[in-house]
Amino acid sequence: MNSPVYLDHAATTPVDPRVAAAMAGCLTADGVFGNPASSAHAHGEAAFERVEAARAAVAAAVGAEPDEVVFTSGATEADNLAIFGATAHSQPRGRHVITARTEHKAVLDPCRELERRGWQVTYLTPDGHGRVEPDRLAAALRADTVLVSLMHVNNEIGTVQDVAAFAAVCERHRGVRLHVDAAQSIGKTEFDFHACGADLVSLSAHKSYGPKGVGALLVSRRSGVRIEPRQFGGGQERGLRSGTVATHQVVGMAAAFTLVVAERPAEGVRLAALRERLWLGLEAHGGAVRNGAPEGTVPAILNVSFDGVEGESLLAAVAPRISVSTGSACTSASGDPSYVLRALGRDDRLAEASLRFGLGRSTSLDDVEAAIEAVGRALARLRRIGGACATAR
Amino acid sequence: MNSPVYLDHAATTPVDPRVAAAMAGCLTADGVFGNPASSAHAHGEAAFERVEAARAAVAAAVGAEPDEVVFTSGATEADNLAIFGATAHSQPRGRHVITARTEHKAVLDPCRELERRGWQVTYLTPDGHGRVEPDRLAAALRADTVLVSLMHVNNEIGTVQDVAAFAAVCERHRGVRLHVDAAQSIGKTEFDFHACGADLVSLSAHKSYGPKGVGALLVSRRSGVRIEPRQFGGGQERGLRSGTVATHQVVGMAAAFTLVVAERPAEGVRLAALRERLWLGLEAHGGAVRNGAPEGTVPAILNVSFDGVEGESLLAAVAPRISVSTGSACTSASGDPSYVLRALGRDDRLAEASLRFGLGRSTSLDDVEAAIEAVGRALARLRRIGGACATAR
Amino acid sequence: MRYSALTRRYFEAAPCAGTLEGPGILSGAAGSRSLGTWVRFDLRVAGAANRPAVIVEARFLAFGCPHTIAVAAWVAEQAAGHPVSAELPQPVDALRRSFDVPVEKLGRLLVVEDAWRAAAARK
Amino acid sequence: MRYSALTRRYFEAAPCAGTLEGPGILSGAAGSRSLGTWVRFDLRVAGAANRPAVIVEARFLAFGCPHTIAVAAWVAEQAAGHPVSAELPQPVDALRRSFDVPVEKLGRLLVVEDAWRAAAARK
Ligand SMILES: Cc1ncc(COP(=O)(O)O)c(C=O)c1O
Ligand SMILES: Cc1ncc(COP(=O)(O)O)c(C=O)c1O
């Protein structure tokens, strides 16, 4: 059997060969392998310079200053650092946080943990397309609100939110801090740290053709936001995140971000066309419901619910031909229907019987046609086995 | 100028080319690049299998079971997870922790943070060779002690401690939990998780020819130790450490550990001989004091203090010829005299004027001779400039 | 989700999927689509006097996860030649083991069993 | 530690390291080895009547960090030809900038200045 067509780029992307080459240059004895903290000698200095060049490149790619970049092991760590780090600092001023029901678990689970510690958390329900209306945010703000955490691009349906509007609301509300999970943004849509007005932004490399296991938290200097560190030790990253900085990882992140940002305009147009072809093809199979407004979502993500089939079987039936998922990689193992789609008002059956197509660099028109055909066959077969024609539709 | 001889393997090691090759196979589109959490499809499954094979290999290398391995972003994270995770859980039983003054900052700084939160911490002073006597530990245990954190191999002087003796003391004391930082152990000396009797053990890949940015916390199943997670999200690593597992990183760690453990017996003998040659050569320059008992330290580390010279100048003078450091990479930037050597009773001047030679795979007899000569020249020059012959010696 | 080879095979081939028509067909269903699992069996039986009725042919429909579909398909396939009985060709627990069904999905196998019993009870 | 090119050059070459012997040498020291920084200057001076004494030759000894050694060496090198004076050839602040000395090391430059003054005061 041929290996299936990869259409799960929102879960993770292959590392760009140019990125892999840059990483390889920071590993072995003939490369820059020193410890960037070993400032006493040339091996350490060389690594330090690579790390700082990477920091500058990441900053440039996202419209930040180099000293606003705190490298982490990924967006999960960045989300945790932002949420616990910002709330630890502002605890005296209040113990209320606002987020949305459609956030990634790396935001929701820290919020749940805050609740266990006695904090109050408001979970906003977005509109049917996954957008939190700024007015709703404004209405939820309280005198004791210290942090708002709302994502930029949703990982399941690709909805792009108006972060600048959130920032304006927070700004008016005596400067409550805004954290934005932008793990899915870089290379998928435009993102500019300073322009968006957020205080804290989480990034991940592996959604943008960089390596897994590295990300960053952007910490706004202009806004003067303060966070408490969570990982203590050697004092790396200006004391905000101790632990040896992995040169090859941050170099990979920098190379990947630089490439995807440069290539995004053209790639966005290409993927948007492929996505619309994919949607038309899927729609023709009948009983398909598109999740997320076409104009308000990134071109790289298409999320569709299918009537008359059970979700797990749909996924299993298409798996030999295409690699897709029902939702985020983190929740697809649990088999629960997507909490994101349920938050948008889909019933359990439709939420469960949904596929997230994550288009990416390698995606060709052939891949899209193969996906349309594979889903069509699976639907026909499962609907027949399920007696859907006779009973359900 | 030729690049200096690398003698700082205790700060970090170059990645073994075989390890780098294994990592490269988990990055690009032609490799195993899927998200190991994407269980719905073949791309994810293949990554999952690599991760589990890596887990099994790491476990085998350190005498643990695969399900005792929790992958982290390094030993710093593992130390933090162990200390905060174990104390969070046992808080009701007491708020006292025991550690030693010679631990790595990744242990000491979390302990300081515990103190800020109202915990009490006893910092044991080791003997002149850096060993904590089990009797001292026994004497320090209190009714409210919940955790002991003592390292296996000291990163500055290479002292190997008797972890099994610590474990026996803890066991007798109604099972107070023992955490061991073994970041410097694997490949440098024998280490067996089950044999040593510790509840929690921190590991790092980049001290053993693996990549930076990956490590593990071993969590004993047999002892039933419980820890609270610190990073919340997708629920990876059985909920103990959320965040996408970086396939290439854990695969690199596994490959590296497998190699160093296999090669250790022969390599240990080779390095021990080189280290003794190095010591004899340095001693002949006069005014050299060896830190750590030769029989009680790993062959890969030699730490020597030099009389009659100032530390920073000594380091700067040898830097063009050899890459060494004064202590851990994490503290060498600060310019403070090593707190480890001060804890062993060295005065500030001697503690400051010390060099840690980290021998490793690439180290040849020529490197050792070059080091002896470079240090000799530096000492002679600095002692002359400092007027040491006339006044100090 | 990882599926055993047996599960995958019966999920993919789904032998005996469909319905039977005509007089004397025993039909029974259980579960509910809106709760995620629904199964129906149709059995064609033949019986001489003084001899217990024997299943000649069986068909199934299933809306559910791959385990549900695979097990229902296997049951329908095995049924032919067996006497009509409330017992499945293999007890639920044995099926769970053969098809490597996670414990938390036990409820779904009980839907298969219920559907089978409902059909057999029509006799 | 990163050192500027000038610091590295004077640290490595350390011109004028040593002592001077003989009559009329002005010597002064400051600091303490046990505190980490100690500096000594020896000056050979020549002076005709009615003219201020001029430094003919200077030597230094320094126990200290590379910045301390580099600055002391530079001062000793510059001194020749200058009249004996309590002032360094360049003020401490200018030296700090030329040699890119971190602020937290300012105290060490003051030891260099003190040693120089002690020597010049012998006049
Ligand atoms: C929106 C979002 N946030 C956070 C994460 C977690 O990022 P990481 O895998 O780098 O920990 C992901 C993806 O996994 C994501 O899609
Ligand atoms: C003893 C010890 N513990 C912890 C660490 C930190 O490990 P890592 O660099 O993987 O965070 C190190 C080295 O840096 C170490 O030597």
Q: What is the DSSP string of A119-141?
A: -EEEEEPP-TTSPPPHHHHHHH-
Q: Confirm or reject: Cβ of B208 under 6 Å from ligand 2.
A: no
Rounded to whole angstroms, the maximal C-alpha distance in chain C is 49
Which residues does chain B have within 8 Å of residue C2's beta carbon, measured at their own beta carbons? 39, 45
Say how far residue A96 (Cα) sits from the centre of its chain: 24
Residues A115 and A226 reside in one and the same domain:
yes
Kindly determine whether residue A33 and residue B17, on different chains, have CB atoms separated by under 8 Å. Answer: no
Specify the CATH number for the domain of residue A23.
3.40.640.10
Domain holding D76, by residue range, is: 5-120
pLDDT of residue B275: 98
- Considering the domain architecture, whether residues A249 and A277 belong to the same structural domain is answered as no
| Cβ atoms A153, A184 nearer than 8 A | yes
**Model pLDDT, residue A360:** 98
Please state, in angstroms and rounded to a whole number, the distance separating the CA atoms of residues D77 and B133: 54
Complex ipTM value: 0.94
CB pairs under 8 A between A and B: 291
Please check whether residues A177 and A199 belong to one and the same domain: yes
Question: According to the model, what pLDDT value does residue B330 have?
Answer: 43
Which residue in this structure is represented by tokens 């390094």? B74
**How does pLDDT run along chain A (393 residues), one tens digit per residue?**
578 999 999 999 999 999 999 999 999 999 999 999 999 999 999 999 999 999 999 999 999 999 999 999 999 999 999 999 999 977 778 999 999 999 999 999 999 999 999 999 999 999 999 999 999 999 999 999 999 999 999 999 999 999 999 999 999 998 799 999 999 999 999 999 999 999 999 999 999 999 999 999 999 999 999 999 999 999 999 999 999 999 999 999 999 999 999 999 999 999 999 999 999 999 999 999 999 988 999 999 999 999 999 999 999 999 999 999 986 544 444 457 789 999 988 888 888 999 999 999 999 999 999 999 999 999 999 999 999 754 433
Q: Judge if A173 and A40 occupy the same domain.
A: yes
Domain boundary among B240, B258, B276: B258
Q: Which atom of ligand 1 is nearest to the CA of A74?
A: 10
Quote the tokens at residue A279.
């949607």
User: A378: which chain C residues are within 8 Å (Cβ-Cβ)?
Assistant: none
Residues 6+ apart with CB under 8 A from A228: A84, A85, A88, A89
* Mean pLDDT of the D85-110 span: 94
User: What's the confidence (pLDDT) of residue A363?
Assistant: 98
Tell me the CATH number at D27. 3.90.1010.10
pLDDT in tens, B278-292: 999 999 999 999 999
Nearest of A320, A342, A317, A321 to residue A331 by alpha carbon: A342
- What are D6-21's pLDDT values in tens digits? 999 999 999 999 999 9
Same domain, B28 and B157: yes
Predicted confidence (pLDDT) at residue B251 exceeds the cutoff of 70: yes
* Residue B103 beta carbon below 6 angstroms from any ligand 2 atom: no
CA A184 to chain centre: 3
Measure the CA–CA gap between B248 and B72, rounded to whole angstroms. Answer: 13
Q: Give the pLDDT mean for D59-86.
A: 96
Q: What is the mean pLDDT of residues C109-123?
A: 93
Q: d(Cα A310, Cα A127) in Å, to the nearest integer?
A: 25
| Cα–Cα distance, A40 to A55 (Å, whole number) | 21
pLDDT tens figures, B198-244: 999 999 999 999 999 999 999 999 999 999 999 999 999 999 999 99
CA D23 to chain centre: 20
Residues A240 and A289 in one domain: no
Contact partners, residue A163, CB within 8 Å, separation at least 6: A150, A152, A178, A180, A196, A197, A198
| Residue whose CB lies within 8 A of the most ligand 2 atoms, among B155, B157, B163, B338, for a mutation test | B155
Tell me the shortest Cα–Cα distance from A108 to chain B, in angstroms.
Answer: 7
Q: Is C touching D (3+ C-beta pairs, cut-off 8 A)?
A: no
Q: Is the pLDDT of residue B389 over 90?
A: no
Cβ-contact B283, A252 below 8 angstroms? no
Q: Answer whether residue B334 shows pLDDT above 90.
A: no
Positions of A marked catalytic: 330
Q: Total structural domains in chain C? A: 1
> Tokens 């560190």 correspond to what residue?
A229
Amino acid at B191: F
Summarize the confidence of residues B48-64 as an average pLDDT.
Answer: 98
pLDDT at A389: 54
Identify whether residues B124 and B176 lie together within a single domain: yes
Report d(CA B308, CA B287) in Å as an integer. Answer: 7
At B328, the pLDDT band (50, 70, 90 cuts) reads low
Please give the distance, rounded to the nearest whole angstrom, from the Cα atom of residue A233 to the centre of ligand 2.
9
* Cα–Cα nearest to B68, from B199, B236, B250: B199
> Residues with Cβ within 6 A of ligand 1?
A 74-76, 79, 104, 106, 151, 155, 181, 183-184, 204, 206, 215, 328; B 243-244
| Contacts for C78 with CB less than 8 Å, ≥ 6 apart | C89, C90
| Same domain, residue pair A81 and A213 | yes
pLDDT over 70 percentage in chain B: 96
Q: Which of B312, B313, B385 sits opposite D17 (nearest CB)?
A: B385
Chain-chain contact of B40 with A105 (C-beta, under 8 angstroms): no
Instruction: Say whether both A80 and A125 belong to one domain.
Output: yes
Which residues does A161 contact at the CB level (< 8 Å), separation at least 6? A131, A132, A150, A151, A152, A153, A154
Of A193, A117, A192, A202, nearest in space to A151 by CA: A202
Is B330 in the active site?
yes
Tell which residue, B31, B39, B32, B61, has the closest CA to residue B236.
B39
Residues of B in contact with A77 (CB under 8 A): 73, 231, 243
- Give me A233's structure tokens: 């030790």
Nearest atom of ligand 2 to the alpha carbon of B154? 1
Mean pLDDT value of segment B50-72: 98
**Mapping DSSP to helix (H, G, I), strand (E, B) and coil, where does residue B263 land?**
helix
Q: Is the domain of A190 the same as that of A137?
A: yes
The C-side interface with B (CB below 8 A) comprises: 1-2
Q: What average pLDDT does range B367-390 have in this prediction?
A: 92
Mutation test of the interface with chain B: which of C1, C4, C8, C65, choosing the one with the most B Cβ atoms within 10 A? C1
Q: What is the CATH number of the domain that holds A289?
A: 3.90.1150.10
pLDDT of B25 reads 98
- Whether the CB of B1 is below 8 Å from some CB of chain D: the reply is no
- The Cα–Cα gap between A294 and A296 comes to 6
A249 shares a domain with A107:
yes
> What total of structural domains would you count in chain A?
2
pLDDT (tens digit, 9 = 90+) per residue, C34-71?
A: 999 999 999 999 976 677 789 999 999 999 999 999 99
How do residues B104-115 score in pLDDT, each as one tens digit?
999 999 999 999
A135 plus A94 within the same structural domain: yes
- What Cα–Cα distance (Å) separates residue D38 from each residue in A338, B387, B388, D61, D108? 70, 10, 11, 8, 9
Other C-beta atoms closer than 10 Å to the C-beta of A171 total: 13
Paired tokens of B85: 């995770």
pLDDT in tens, A125-167: 999 999 999 999 999 999 999 999 999 999 999 999 999 999 9
Q: Which of residues 19-58 of A touch D (CB under 8 A)?
A: 39-40, 45
Which pLDDT does position C122 carry in this prediction?
81
CA distances (Å), origin B259, targets B184, B353, B354: 15, 35, 31
Range of the domain at B36: 17-258
Q: Rounded to the nearest 5°, which phi and psi values hold at B99?
A: -145, -165
CA dist., res. A391 & res. B255, Å (int): 55
